[in-house]
A and B are shown apart, each in its own frame.
Chain A
């Protein structure tokens, strides 16, 4: 095992997949000489040259369309969009074409496109550079959405995403890129669509996404000191969503809290809650609680931004409301 930072796990995955498959190439703004604004692409241009690592002008819609054509021609593009907020400017190629091409052309083409983009508030980056919009994309049939919380999951999931023949939106949280974690020395993959139980517990199931996994684990420590045992489940992949793991945990604990940084309203918490009620209502012993950001744009003022981001304390509060 070795210790690695979250951001470096991205670099390693990209590095290994470019080396492994000559059809893989990287494209985006500031990823070549700039090495990615969060240093995600460090050393890759120097190592593989500009045929495999393409810098672009500020033209997301154009190079997302380019990726569509490249995929149709048999390549495996890895498109970097910096901030997921910027996906809004290339929605047509992504939603109307990339997500639907396999379906509309009767499977004549595969769409092995991976789109990397960052999420998350906490850097004072303001309303345009901090959003968590995963629910939008999870709502689109044909797109897979991945949100890893640890270096181990980042590397294993990104490699699986690049090898997947479907478009995968790989969303990493820019505020935890320096977080360290252990990964194996040898190559490994983490399958898409498989949740991970980050901590086992008996009293309340807490489903937490991306950065919120860390908050949930902090909450778990504090709650354990008070005699409340929570089970922390990290879906890792938002779509497809591993409801089986979540439901089997709820059947064990009978109580559920869902945590995401995205605004609570219409978030993926609603989807998870609804599915649990549909499939396991008779196992619930308390209302399902959701913890999410307030329904407002991400504030730029540091104290307001801090108040905006869901915290371990809010998770503790939600758990205590239903843990009798």
Chain B
């Protein structure tokens, strides 16, 4: 029996997502036939059957995120029965291989890239995707010349030219930075690299910021009133963020134009309201998504938010839990930040930055009174949205925050 595992396609690859199965359980497979397509942060890759046989079991389904070395499927060889397959259903998405043994099959999978050590080294130094190079050496091995050619081609066509399906070929790496005596040069984690790429991408979007101050007296009272009930029902402590998500979802319903994306000459308007929540994890950020936030009760939002945050910290989020948000909320209030502006999360067209609630003197009916005030800053993609639309949305937020009873309507 052959165990098909998640190959390691690059030095930084930690996991991959199954995006398509070409075979189903019980199908006969030939050696070299495409079994499934996987996707990493960087590439999509067709994984071939290492040997002929019958696809005995698919462990990882489409959408599953599998760590490098994790079991994806079993291929039965002649004379073997499905009884030989270890474990039972439900193993999907779980890292089937223990970490200690995970490396061996990963290395085995890498062997499938037939490339000379020299060519491999040059490809890695220049950040060239080995899988995209056609080898011209004996038995199709990728040799030095092939890699040098790929580097040349990459230089000749420096534009990223993102054809979504094809793996990005040959991005020439900048010359390695020099390190002074009092410095340390640490490679970025794969998450950090993604953050760096995405945040840089933000600056290709013309955007602007709108800020409003809201009085959270009523929202605070509501939270105190609901705390025991929500905790009794869900076991989770209701947070200001939970209430804000509810408020944002309702405001998006009222201002559907905000719930959109710029899409290459068009604007994509979403009917679903899926709210991403920027969550701090060790070494970076993850944005889990609270689906259909407008259709969830406050208790449901609270429970979902809590579960996703825990999964994010444990790095157990699967791909669908991190993608497809239509609007994002970033709350730094608990860190004592009064006000900040958040960078858009392309392709989203808006993100709300929430500051701390601070007691401030404000004028009420001609009197100076002390009120808990919170600053909300909305970042907007100006290609699809204008100031008035953003202002209306912020006004809507203000109204619900200051009179949360309206949420019942």
Contact = CB atoms under 8 A, between A and B. Distances in A.
B66 to A, nearest CB: 30
B162 interface: no
A285 B119 contact: yes
Contact of A284 (B116, B138, B145): B116
B118 A285 contact: yes
B117 A283 contact: yes
B138 A286 contact: yes
B145 A282 contact: no
A286 B118 CA distance: 8
Interface string A299-324: 00000000000000000000001101
Contacts of B138: 286, 321-322, 324
Interface in B98-126: 116-121
A254 B144 CA distance: 9
A281 interface: yes
B118 A284 contact: yes
A281, A286, A321, A322: residue with the most chain B Cβ atoms closer than 10 Å? A286
Contacts of B136: 324
B254 to A, nearest CB: 61
Q: Is the interface of B mostly helix, strand, loop or mixed?
A: helix
B137 interface: yes
Contacts of A254: 116, 118, 144
B117, B120, B138: residue with the most chain A Cβ atoms closer than 10 Å? B117
Interface residues of B, number: 13
Contacts of B145: 324
Interface in A224-266: 254
Interface string B123-151: 00000000000001110010111000000
B107 to A, nearest CB: 15
Contacts of B118: 254, 282-285
Contacts, number: 33
A283 B121 CA distance: 8
Nearest to B125: A282
Contact of B143 (A281, A282, A321, A324): A324
Given A254-B144, A285-B144, A286-B143, A324 B117 contact: no
Nearest to B147: A285
Contacts of A322: 138
Interface string B364-402: 000000000000000000000000000000000000000
Contacts of A324: 136-138, 143, 145
Nearest to A281: B117
A318 to B, nearest CB: 12
Interface in A263-295: 281-286
A254 B137 CA distance: 13
A255 to B, nearest CB: 9
Contacts of A281: 117
A286 B120 CA distance: 11
A281 B116 CA distance: 9
Contacts of A282: 117-118, 120-121
Contacts of A286: 116, 137-138, 141, 143
Nearest to B121: A282
A144 B272 CA distance: 81
A203 to B, nearest CB: 12
A283 B120 CA distance: 10
A286 B141 CA distance: 9
A259 to B, nearest CB: 20
A254 B117 CA distance: 10
A12 B116 CA distance: 48
A116 to B, nearest CB: 41
A29 B136 CA distance: 58
A324 B119 CA distance: 13
A287 to B, nearest CB: 8
A303 B144 CA distance: 41
Nearest to B141: A286
A285 B138 CA distance: 11
A288 to B, nearest CB: 11
A319 B120 CA distance: 22
A285 to B, nearest CB: 4
A324 B116 CA distance: 12
Contacts of B121: 282-283
A281 B137 CA distance: 17
B118, B121, B143: residue with the most chain A Cβ atoms closer than 10 Å? B118
A321 B139 CA distance: 11
A319 B6 CA distance: 37
A145 to B, nearest CB: 30
A285 B118 CA distance: 5
Interface in B300-336: none
A81 to B, nearest CB: 42
A281, A285, A321: residue with the most chain B Cβ atoms closer than 10 Å? A285
Nearest to B145: A324
Nearest to A321: B138
Interface string B4-20: 00000000000000000
Contacts of B141: 286
A281 B144 CA distance: 13
Nearest to A251: B118
Interface string B56-95: 0000000000000000000000000000000000000000
Contacts of B120: 282
Contacts of B119: 285
A298 to B, nearest CB: 32
A275 B119 CA distance: 20
A278 B136 CA distance: 26
Interface in A122-181: none
B116, B120, B136, B137: residue with the most chain A Cβ atoms closer than 10 Å? B116
A284 B116 CA distance: 7
A227 to B, nearest CB: 15
A179 to B, nearest CB: 35
Contacts of B144: 254, 285
A322 B137 CA distance: 8
Q: What are the 6 closest A-B residue pairs judged by CB atoms, nearest first?
A: A285-B118, A282-B121, A285-B116, A285-B144, A281-B117, A284-B117
Interface of A: 254, 281-286, 321-322, 324
7 contacts: A254-B144, A284-B117, A285-B144, A286-B137, A286-B141, A322-B138, A324-B136
Given A254-B144, A285-B137, 17 more contacts: A254-B116, A254-B118, A281-B117, A282-B118, A282-B120, A282-B121, A285-B116, A285-B118, A285-B119, A285-B143, A285-B144, A286-B141, A286-B143, A322-B138, A324-B136, A324-B138, A324-B145
